[in-house]
Structure 1
Amino acid sequence: MEIKTYTNYILLSLVAVLFALTSCKKSSSDILLTNKPVVEAYLIPGQNLSVKVYQQKALTDTATYGAALTGLSISVSDDSKTVKLTESASGTYTYADGTFITNGKTYTMQFTYDGVIVSAATIMPGKPQNFKLSDSVFHVPSSINPLYADVVRGTITWDNPDSLYHLLVFKNLDNDPFYISYIRTNNKPSFQINTEQAAYHNLVQSSFNYYGHYQVILMRVNKEYINILTTNISRDSQALVNEPTNVTNGLGIFTAMQTDTLTLRVTTE
């Protein structure tokens, strides 16, 4: 499967958090904050560069995105080359050359909005190495015994000598997955885990809610991605002053990531 297909799925979990953080209403003490543009960009090697820019939403706005910001002149540099992005759709700016995004480079984005320079930078992390499953089949016990809930039944490992940040995504590939226990029917077949800075993740008897075929995707990400993902800010204008962002004079995220993927089948013993 192409990297773009499952990366689009992965980012959906971040979208809800990001838009909660960038939704606000004007108050007399925070007028400047409501005028900042929201940036959304995820750089992945081999894929075309895409940057989405839009306005913040009001708390009562149920749309996924705020109004698109059009007509911007956005440039991205990798220290040795600077490219100008083209507005391929309203508020979406792209550079259609997949060779521009490569390993080990620092990327800096910049544009002017309302007379102010908006910028952000991110470093492309290295691709995960030695990503392994202890077994390509995970056997769920025929009866779930709470006394053995924490017994390790499988392990996922990867190299992480520098304690970098990783996410594990378990994407169920079945059209109609069969749930393991009726107690868990409200949980979704696909899920993700923040492994923080570890180099392994243990699978226990309750790790999966559904049987079936899975893609296990390891994402190596930067701190700015983790900051947004792990922030629990309510939709209260009083709490929107310190929302995480790596965009100067703006909101949102401009980040880079690399992934690797394995397959796993979850079945009964």
Structure 2
Amino acid sequence: MEIKTHTHTRYILGALAAGFMLMTAACKKNSADINAVNKPVVEAYLVAGQPLSLKVYQQKDLTDTATYGVALTGLSINVSNGSQTVKLTEGAGGTYTYSDAAFITAGKTYTMQFNYNNATVSASTLMPGKPAGFKLTDSVFHEPNIIDPAYNDKVLQTVTWSNPDSLQHILLFKNLDSNPFEIIAVRSNRKPSFEINTERTAIYNITQNTFKYYGHYQVILLRVNDEYINILSSNTRGSSQNLVNTPTNVVNGLGIFTAMQADTLNLRVTTQ
């Protein structure tokens, strides 16, 4: 079933943004990259069939505990899909939007551009096609009553999809329960909701250690681009003595301007 509601989309974007904010806060600011503190941070996740939303703010200091840096307002931001160029409307908190959901479609390359501090800030991304052939072995997963370490890698169920071209996909397991019940026997550090980088494969194997919590899940498959995978895979969570700059596809700026499509299935994790 395709994701069609704004609620699902808000969850996806919220989950991605939460990880991205941790990464951008960890950008190293040393003498070799002192100009980075003056670069705007762009954050945009384009979803086919949804209104376009883009956030721009100043890079945070490492000691800043705020969720975002100071919003950058008064910008004139244009986005083109190759045949049409639109100007985004400024809203609150450095958020710029374009409300026509028909503007974002598969197969088109989207280019963003604005001027800041006498420099042209730009980025581009390709809207991928929808994930195809998304399937679960079963809509119910029975967690074994006894967790045997000898069978940690035994495949109990699978998530599969079509991926003949080895495209990038992310799996999100979203727990829908307000107070999920922990599977005590499982030695896992995962939260109720978690994401998996599928490493260009077309299958994810579910084992006795996959879930840390029982409950109802949405299993969301995202087809994404390299710029998001680069950020997801970057090593920015070391100590303050070993921080590195987060990858970015924004010219004369920081952050991410990327596109994705999604499909979702339902799964219930229960006792055997």
TM-score greater than 0.5 by the shorter chain:
yes
User: Matched residues, percent identical?
Assistant: 65
C-alpha separation in 1, matches of 2:173 and 2:161: 16
C-alpha separation in 2, matches of 1:25 and 1:156: 38
Does the alignment pair 1:243 with 2:246?
yes
Deviation of 1:14 after TM superposition, in Å, equals: 3.5
2:127 counterpart residue number? 124
Aligned to 1:103, which of 99, 102, 106? 106
1:190-205 equivalence runs, <5 A: 190-205=193-208
Which amino acid in 1 is paired with 2:218? Answer: Q
Q: Which runs of 5+ in 1 are unaligned?
A: none
| 3-state SS of 1:68 partner | coil
1:139 counterpart residue number? 142
Aligned to 2:261, which of 241, 258, 269? 258
Aligned to 1:22, which of 21, 24, 31? 24
2:174 counterpart residue number? 171
2:92 counterpart residue number? 89
1:154 counterpart residue number? 157
2:217 counterpart residue number? 214
Aligned to 1:8, which of 6, 10, 23? 10
C-alpha separation in 1, matches of 2:241 and 2:5: 37
Which amino acid in 2 is paired with 1:80? Answer: S
C-alpha separation in 2, matches of 1:135 and 1:183: 21
TM-score, normalising length: structure 2: 0.92
Deviates further, 222-231 or 1-10: 1-10
**How many equivalent pairs are there?**
268
Deviation of 1:61 after TM superposition, in Å, equals: 0.2
Aligned residues of 1:20 and 1:235 also touching (Cα < 8 A): no
2:270 counterpart residue number? 267
Deviation of 1:177 after TM superposition, in Å, equals: 1.4
C-alpha separation in 2, matches of 1:66 and 1:16: 14
Does the alignment pair 1:44 with 2:47?
yes
Aligned residues of 1:17 and 1:228 also touching (Cα < 8 A): no
Which amino acid in 2 is paired with 1:110? Answer: Q
Judged with a 3 Å threshold, the aligned counterparts in structure 2 of structure 1 residues 167 and 65 are, in CA distance, closer, same or farther, namely: same
Does the alignment pair 1:68 with 2:75?
no
Aligned residues of 2:190 and 2:211 also touching (Cα < 8 A): no
2:115 counterpart residue number? 112
C-alpha separation in 1, matches of 2:241 and 2:209: 38
| 3-state SS of 2:122 partner | strand
Aligned residues of 1:21 and 1:235 also touching (Cα < 8 A): no
Deviation of 1:238 after TM superposition, in Å, equals: 6.8
Judged with a 3 Å threshold, the aligned counterparts in structure 2 of structure 1 residues 20 and 207 are, in CA distance, closer, same or farther, namely: closer
Deviates further, 23-32 or 134-143: 23-32
C-alpha separation in 1, matches of 2:199 and 2:75: 36
Q: Which deviations, in whole Å up to 9, do the C-alpha atoms of 1:207-238 show, x marking residues without a partner?
A: 11111111110010000001001112236487
Judged with a 3 Å threshold, the aligned counterparts in structure 2 of structure 1 residues 142 and 76 are, in CA distance, closer, same or farther, namely: same
Which amino acid in 1 is paired with 2:227? Answer: E
C-alpha separation in 2, matches of 1:13 and 1:196: 19
Deviation of 1:26 after TM superposition, in Å, equals: 5.1
Deviates further, 83-92 or 227-236: 227-236
Deviates further, 70-79 or 83-92: 83-92
Which amino acid in 1 is paired with 2:132? Answer: Q
Deviation of 1:147 after TM superposition, in Å, equals: 1.0
Q: Which deviations, in whole Å up to 9, do the C-alpha atoms of 1:35-56 show, x marking residues without a partner?
A: 1100000000111101100000
C-alpha separation in 2, matches of 1:122 and 1:146: 43
Q: Which runs of 5+ in 2 are unaligned?
A: none
| 3-state SS of 2:11 partner | helix
